[in-house]
């Protein structure tokens, strides 16, 4: 059992950082190719939703990496001693488009650090708030949830996912076939050294997963793309929660259905039909 120094972890609340980047047309084209798109947005055109996660990911020195491939804890993020780290979800408000080629600036703050007890043991949720500017234009307001968990006991079965909406509830649906090359390329584009996405011996033998873990933000990006297709226009708001991991071992499904408020309900389901990600989307202009 890991001992958590809650007071120490909560002393990180209020920490801030500012990062600058550029919406590099080459990286935009590379992500378009990675997602098997026929064409990429050109300079001056709007960046698709979720693609901003390619930016603001500084490459730290090799000696500053932890054993999981992430930067060692205790810098901007609190030094949570639990071994499993995952992107739990987030909420985004799209205020203005980000033009490809624009200069970018992100203001970030640690808003909350909440230890909890789950079925698998201790967990710590960290909430980050980001404000992203394209030039002088406030483009995206985002809340980002990170969860840290204990490692599972040896031989422990994977937790059963929650049931997903019935298949016939979906009006729009896509099948996604993951593979190690896709995960590696997305990791490279997002400067994500987390070994669960590309190191098969590590992810199976150390963290106990059955295969390479599909990136949570990549699932959300695919759902946002499906949402814009279904809505026929740009997103105003998007919120998602990752309920269970997806792996490179089998195809999975993303789906969407109209919601009563004029937006969409969206979800991703694993090969057994269990819910992996659930989401909500609203179009622009926002109601009210």
Least confident of 98-107, 126-135, 161-170: 161-170
Which among 167, 177, 97, 169 is positioned nearest to 137, based on CA atoms?
97
Q: What percent of the chain has pLDDT over 90?
A: 75
The answer, as to whether pTM is greater than 0.85, is: yes
pLDDT tens track for 171-182? 999 999 999 999
pLDDT tens track for 10-29? 999 999 999 999 999 999 99
Residue predicted with more confidence, 128 or 167: 128
Least confident of 111-115, 163-167, 242-246: 163-167
Least confident of 3-17, 23-37, 159-173: 159-173
103-118 and 121-134 beta bridge pairing: antiparallel
For residues 73-90, average pLDDT: 88
The confidence score (pLDDT) of residue 137 equals 98
For residues 215-228, average pLDDT: 97
Domains, the chain, ordered by start? 6-283 (3.10.129.10)
**How confident is residue 85, by pLDDT bands cut at 50, 70 and 90?**
confident
Residue predicted with more confidence, 262 or 23: 23
The confidence score (pLDDT) of residue 156 equals 64
Backbone angles phi, psi at 216, to 5 degrees: -60, -45
Q: What percent of the chain has pLDDT over 70?
A: 94
And the tokens for 142? 């985002």
Highest mean pLDDT among 75-79, 164-168, 188-192, 284-288: 188-192
For residues 80-93, average pLDDT: 92
List Cα–Cα distances, 250 to 176, 182, 273, in angstroms.
9, 13, 12
Which residues lie below 8 Å from residue 14, measured CB to CB, with a gap of 6+? 109, 110
For residues 80-88, average pLDDT: 89
The confidence score (pLDDT) of residue 1 equals 58
CA separation for the pair 108, 17 (Å, rounded): 5
**pLDDT exceeds cutoff 80 at 120:** no
């Amino acid at each position: 059992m890991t001992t958590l120094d809650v007071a120490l972890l909560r002393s990180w609340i209020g920490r801030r950082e500012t990062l600058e980047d550029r919406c590099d047309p080459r990286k935009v084209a590379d992500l378009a190719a990675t997602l098997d798109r026929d064409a990429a947005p050109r300079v001056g055109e709007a960046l698709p939703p979720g693609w901003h996660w390619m930016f603001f990911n500084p490459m730290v020195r090799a000696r500053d990496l932890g054993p999981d491939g992430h930067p060692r804890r205790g810098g901007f993020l609190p030094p949570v001693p639990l071994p499993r780290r995952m992107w739990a979800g987030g909420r985004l408000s799209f205020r203005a488009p980000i033009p490809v080629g624009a200069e970018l600036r992100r203001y970030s703050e640690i808003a909350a650090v909440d230890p909890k007890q789950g079925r698998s043991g201790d967990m710590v949720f960290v909430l980050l708030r980001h404000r992203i500017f394209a030039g002088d234009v406030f483009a995206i307001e985002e809340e980002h949830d990170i969860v840290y968990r204990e490692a599972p006991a040896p031989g422990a079965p994977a937790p059963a996912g929650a049931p997903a909406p019935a298949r016939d509830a979906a009006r729009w649906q896509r099948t996604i076939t993951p593979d190690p090359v896709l995960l590696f390329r997305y990791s490279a584009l997002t400067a994500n050294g987390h070994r669960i996405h590309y190191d098969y011996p590590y992810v199976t033998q150390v963290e106990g997963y059955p295969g390479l873990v599909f990136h949570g933000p990549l699932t959300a990006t695919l759902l946002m793309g499906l949402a814009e297709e279904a809505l026929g226009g740009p997103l105003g708001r998007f919120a998602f929660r990752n309920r269970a991991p997806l792996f490179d071992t089998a195809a999975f499904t993303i789906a969407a259905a109209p919601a009563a408020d004029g937006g969409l309900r969206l979800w991703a389901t694993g090969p057994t039909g269990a819910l992996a990600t659930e989401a909500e989307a609203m179009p622009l202009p926002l109601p009210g």
